[in-house]
Chain A
Amino acid sequence: MEDKKRLSIKLAEDIGVDVSRCYQCGKCTAGCVLAPDMDIAPSFLMRLLQTGTEKADARVLGSTAIWLCLSCENCVARCPMEIDLPAIMDHLRELSRTGGRVNEKARPIVAFHKSFLDMVKHNGRTYEIGLVAEYKMRTMRLMQDVDIAPTMMAKGKLNIVPERLKDNGDKVGRIFANTIDKKD
């Protein structure tokens, strides 16, 4: 039932953004540094949400664009209607992930976010070596960045052992349990 609800309605209910306010001027796309690399440019994505069809919603949730968005906020800063596109992107990512719709090509991005958050969950802070290791395991991109890692190590930019919070991150683990990992 819940999943059949149109994305535009979910966005209005969950984060209070009304997609019908967009009048398709395209200023968001014009100013977006990654628009040329997106499968669906920001203003086009807004149009798809406005149509409110199942097909359009599926296309949005399965797009790479929502994962490419850098949240640089250029779009909302210049939007004449002040539509919070970064908030829309954030929420679409959450819906895409929880609904199992993540685009194949966006998996490395999701993998990175997951690895990052895993580090935070277990240590309370990020730990680059662990992060990269986990990310490589998730994506099997084993050779990536092997060229700069030793340099970074030599320049003292990488910690060998993770920094941890006083209780080994239990407090932070609890935050995860109560938010992103919550089962309800």
Chain B
Amino acid sequence: MTPEASRPASFERLRRLPIVGRALDWGMGGSAVSRRTREAGARIAGLKVTESVCPYCAVGCGQLVYTRDGELVEIEGNPRSPINQGTLCPKGAASRQLVQQPGRLTKVRYRRPGGAEWEELELEQAMDMIAQRVIEARENGWQDRDRRGWRVDRTLGFAHLGGATLDNEENYLIKKLFTALGAIQIENQARI
């Protein structure tokens, strides 16, 4: 059993006096509580929740993502996940700031050859330009046969290096499209 809590003797003695003692507790009561405090509650109450997985290491912690009208409000551990049972490491706990980070890009930036500054590009225009460069590089680097005359049917004109935080489905499309284009220099972080 937890022992009796104690107070400093002088304070306690004074506090036991009839009226003066009572006065020592004035100002500590309910009137100090503000309306805001009385109505306090978790800001995620009533919000839409989505189940997700932490993007950092490969432990695979479950996350709960709370959103209000499409705005991210909160990311915390998913208590149902048998792997992390609601816990997260500092990186996982910071993943809301990863999404809302100060320098997050929202527009395409373009640096022309020899340029000293970024320029902004419309997304569609950037996609058109990239597609055009892929086609050119593919053609320029195309090999039907290698030096020995063996069939290779490939291009060395462009390469890909992917992070290991991409989804399986994304990796699938990357491998599928680039292989179909004949690119073989497809690599990712797994080897790094």
Task: Decide whether A and B assemble into one complex.
Answer: no
Residues of B within 8 A of A (CB): none
